[in-house]
């Protein structure tokens, strides 16, 4: 590796971190979207082109945030209102494309990834930035009724950009999927501009393309119990790494934590799984799969991963045991003490 030019200095301007070298190499910008910090890092792109790309991406993100939000006024809230009333609604084309992809992934996950369960997610109090503390769980009768109503993405009837539902209990919540789709859209935008080396990181869920110059992009998977990094992964060309955690977002009542991933079969939060990390080509599938595999849990993750075409999985259960397949084991480098590992047969 050649030494950086001596006149290379690090300029910090607001949210913009730019390595201001004679030939800029790393260019990073932070944005706030979907309630998370999104860091976009480019390597080897001229400053002007980098700034233009960032501008385009942040505008796309802003539109997505507005159109896909589950409880703030916008296109998805309007669509959900129409679905509940049995009406057809006109939806923005990109939201329709998201619905189509989410339906397909829901089907492949045997319904464990089910973005049609918005009513259940709202009933548990997760349609809020400030999660309720100390509030009792919803009554069992309500949860059972919401499960019995059987909301399914397959109930949606999509005709061009007109969407309606055969089942009025369908309320779409894209919280388990939108980030993946958005990361893919950002990568597409970068590629369209001829940018080949980049990483789009939405709060630890990311997709990388190319490399960081002579080195591969190296990313960390957050430790689900406490601070720090559980493991690092080197990306190979174009790859996504997504983690669904049951540790980050939860409501609490009488000392019991109810995490934000709901088992659509029971209407109750999934207990016993701390996190699932997957490596996969695109972000949308990785995101849906990570959520589905939390629901699948230690017993069923291999079957669901195969059904969804996922080849690299790491599931951490509540006892701290790391369940993974050999291909995933070959990719992760644990930081610090190696946790107990339960190795599965290969997923191919
Ligand atoms: P993620 O971090 O990608 O696993 O997404 C979690 C979010 O997905 C939750 O906050 C809910 O908005 C939503 N969600 C919860 N349970 C499910 C489920 N079984 N299928 C699809 N989305 C879900
Ligand atoms: Mg997800």
Ligand 2 centroid vs 240 CA: distance in angstroms?
Answer: 12
pLDDT surpassing 70 at residue 180: yes
Which ligand is closest in space to the CA of residue 125? 1
- Main-chain dihedrals φ then ψ at residue 254, nearest 5 degrees: 45, 45
Neighbours of ion ligand 2 (CB under 5 A): 176, 244, 287, 290-291
Q: Taking residues 282-300, what's their average pLDDT?
A: 98
Q: How far apart are CA 342 and CA 95, in angstroms?
A: 39
- pTM for the model: 0.92
For the ranges 33-37, 56-60, 224-228, 293-297, the lowest mean pLDDT is seen at: 224-228
Largest CA distance in the chain: 69
What pLDDT does residue 186 have? 97
* Distance (Å) from CA 260 to ligand 1 centroid: 7
The residue contributing the CA closest to ligand 1 atom 6 is 176
For 313-327, write each residue's pLDDT tens digit: 999 999 999 999 999
The pLDDT, as a whole number, for residue 23 is 52
Quick check: 202 pLDDT over 70?
A: yes
pLDDT digits (tens, 9 = 90+) for 5-40: 333 333 333 334 444 444 559 999 999 887 889 999
Measured between alpha carbons, how far is 81 from 170 in angstroms, rounded to an integer? Answer: 10
Residue 114 has pLDDT above 90, yes or no: yes
pLDDT of the residue at 348: 79
Query: Mind listing the pLDDT tens digit for each residue in 83-105?
Result: 999 999 999 999 999 999 999 99
The mean pLDDT value of the chain amounts to: 91
For a pLDDT cut of 90, what percent of the chain falls above it?
A: 84
* pLDDT exceeds 60 at position 2: no
Pocket test for ligand 1, best of 105, 244, 260 (most atoms within 8 A of CB): 260
User: Which spans in the chain are helix H?
Assistant: 47-68, 75-85, 93-108, 118-123, 140-148, 178-192, 283-308, 326-329
Banded model confidence at residue 220, pLDDT cuts 50, 70, 90: very high
């Amino acid at each position: 590796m050649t030494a950086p030019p001596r006149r290379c200095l690090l300029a910090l301007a607001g949210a913009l971190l730019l390595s201001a070298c004679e030939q800029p190499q790393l260019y990073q910008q932070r944005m706030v979207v979907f309630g998370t910090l999104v860091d976009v890092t480019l390597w080897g792109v001229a400053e002007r082109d980098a700034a233009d790309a960032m501008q385009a991406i942040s505008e796309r993100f802003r539109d997505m945030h507005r159109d896909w939000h589950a409880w703030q006024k916008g296109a998805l809230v309007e669509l959900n209102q129409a679905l509940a009333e049995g009406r057809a609604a006109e939806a923005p084309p990109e939201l329709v494309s998201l619905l189509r992809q989410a339906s397909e992934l829901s089907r492949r996950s045997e319904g464990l990834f089910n973005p049609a369960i918005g009513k259940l997610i709202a009933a548990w109090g997760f349609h809020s930035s400030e999660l309720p503390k100390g509030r009792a769980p919803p009554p069992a009768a309500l949860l059972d009724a919401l499960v019995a109503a059987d909301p399914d993405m397959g109930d949606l009837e999509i005709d061009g950009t007109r969407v309606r539902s055969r089942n009025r209990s369908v309320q779409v919540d894209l919280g388990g999927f939108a980030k993946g789709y958005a990361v893919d859209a950002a990568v597409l935008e970068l590629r369209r501009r001829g940018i080949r080396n980049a990483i789009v990181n939405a709060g630890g869920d990311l997709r990388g393309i190319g490399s960081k110059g002579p080195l591969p992009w190296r990313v960390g998977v957050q430790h689900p119990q406490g601070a720090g990094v559980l493991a690092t992964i080197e990306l190979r060309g174009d790859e996504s790494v997504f983690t669904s955690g049951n540790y980050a977002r939860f409501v609490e009542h009488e000392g019991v934590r109810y995490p934000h991933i709901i088992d659509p079969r029971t209407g109750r939060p999934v207990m016993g799984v701390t996190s699932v990390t997957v490596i996969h080509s695109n972000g949308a599938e990785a995101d849906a799969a990570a959520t589905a595999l939390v629901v699948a849990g230690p017993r069923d993750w291999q079957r669901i991963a195969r059904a969804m075409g996922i080849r690299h999985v790491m599931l951490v259960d509540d006892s701290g045991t790391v369940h993974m397949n050999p291909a995933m084991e070959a990719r992760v480098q644990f930081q610090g003490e190696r946790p107990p590992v339960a190795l599965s047969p290969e997923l191919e």
